[in-house]
Amino acid sequence: MRKSINRVQDLLNSNHGRKYGWFIELNDEIIGELKNPKYVDMFWEAYEIIPLNDKKETFVNSYFTWNNPKLKFKNKTMNEYALYAYPSMLLNPQNSMNGVVNMRGLYLLPKGIFESFLFRLLSIFHK
């Protein structure tokens, strides 16, 4: 129970994991990071792309990388994957040239009925 309470508090404090940042994984290898989320439009947020090294910079900024179905996003602090996240360089093509990607669904949710109930309850008191 304490584990669920801590997880829900983490979700509330980090805006569903967004503030912690994300690792970009392709074929189970971390190729970069996403950080500094900014609201773009209804369901979209823009993230700054941080390649892990110079060798991977071209790869991380590649259109083909972002459209690969094996691309995964792992929360840097909570060590969990955002299961339904997907990128769109098409929403604002200028972003891709500036090291920014628009993401949808890049967040973590409460697990199960107990965490969902706890999340709703604690969000009443959360500032």
Same domain, 95 and 37: yes
Per the DSSP assignment, residues forming a β-bridge with 20 are none
Q: Which residue range forms the structural domain that includes residue 124? A: 1-16+112-127
What DSSP element (H or E) covers 118? helix 112-125
pTM exceeds 0.95 for this model = no
pLDDT tens for each residue of 26-82: 889 998 899 999 998 888 999 998 888 776 667 666 777 788 889 999 999 999 999
In sequence order, what DSSP letters do the residues of 23-65 get, joined into one string?
Answer: EEEETTEEEEEEEEEEEEETTEEEEEEEESSHHHHHHHT-HHH
Tally of domains within the chain:
2
Same domain, 23 and 54: yes
Q: What is the mean pLDDT of residues 92-117?
A: 82
Same domain, 90 and 116: no
Same domain, 89 and 121: no
Same domain, 2 and 49: no
Same domain, 22 and 60: yes
